[in-house]
Amino acid sequence: MRLFVVKIFLIFIFFLNFPGAFSQNIKADTSAELPALHNTLNVYHKFLSPETGLYNGSEYVYTAYYPFAINEGHPYFQEKLFDTGAVFYNNVIYEKVPLMFDLINEKLLIRDPTNVNIITLNNERIMWFIIRGHTFVKLHMDSVAHTNMPGGFYDLLYSGATPLYKKMSKRLMNITDTYFGVKQYVTESNDYFIKKNNQYYKITNKKGLLRIMNNKTVAQFIRKNKLSLKSDKDDALKKIVAYYDSISSINIKSDN
């Protein structure tokens, strides 16, 4: 029924904007009618906007995933609040949409057009999304086969020739309290990976990173810039990998 109404609406708007579209005096130059055509399409998309393919997921009910109170922490990426972001969903880019990322269940959440319900997007249809200035990309199981990294969504920290990925995970843990019984809290862990020569490598420490890169000048760069993988691992790794790419490109040029 909805589709039938949409078709009737579109036909009505079309005739409203093109009163002479089917008259016997057909015009050779239709440039004057293009603004009316664009107006018709804009009105059509506005009419359909509450029913875009973005809102076809299942409803997210917090108590279904977390039936017991969480005493410390929360399941979400950075904040327990929606943030305006973008998502590439079902081969369509949707911008300026409210997003929240449940890290425990690895579920991307949006609000419906009425701003009442929360919807869980289908992970199979998500290629990437941007939230709070971070770009998350999906790595499929087949692309990470024979590695020690799981499939799923990764924070793309650096997107150069040697991409740097961060896998964030949250887990619910229980602790027994003498007075309050069982209490739940959230723990967070992060794993880092780089992709070099089409292979993924897990970065656990500086020694392992230098072994993977196999370049003495990288160690000199780390010492000179006083970079520490313990204090700010994200920033240090981004700088190190970017430097590695810069000297690698110079070597490639010199070889040619």
Could you read off the pLDDT of 174-188 as tens digits, one per residue?
Answer: 888 777 778 899 999
Is residue 137 included in any domain, yes or no?
Answer: yes
pLDDT at 36 over 50: yes
pLDDT score of 23: 38
Category of 181 on φ-ψ map: left (φ > 0), alpha (ψ -120 to 50) or beta: left
Question: Could you tell me if 63 and 156 lie in one domain?
Answer: yes
pLDDT at residue 53 in the model: 79
Structural domain span for residue 42: 1-16+33-51
| Most confident among 24-28, 33-37, 83-87 (mean pLDDT) | 83-87
Residue 216 binned pLDDT confidence (cut-offs 50, 70, 90): confident
Residue 76 and residue 54 in contact, taking contact as beta carbons nearer than 8 Å: no
Does pLDDT of 217 surpass 80? yes
DSSP 121: P
- What pTM was estimated for this model as a whole? 0.75
79 and 129 together in one domain: yes
Indicate whether 42 and 114 sit together in one domain.
no
112 pLDDT higher than 70: yes
- Domain assignment of residue 223, yes or no: yes
Q: How far, CA to CA in Å, does 238 sit from each of 15, 16, 158, 209?
A: 56, 56, 6, 12
- With cut-offs at 50, 70 and 90, classify the pLDDT of residue 45: very low
CB of 202 within 8 A of CB of 192? Answer: yes
**Average pLDDT for residues 69-74, to the nearest whole number?**
92
pLDDT in tens, 158-169: 999 999 999 999
Predicted local distance difference test score (pLDDT) of residue 144: 61
Shared domain for 82 and 163, answered yes or no, is yes
Examine the domain organization and report whether 168 and 243 are in the same domain: no
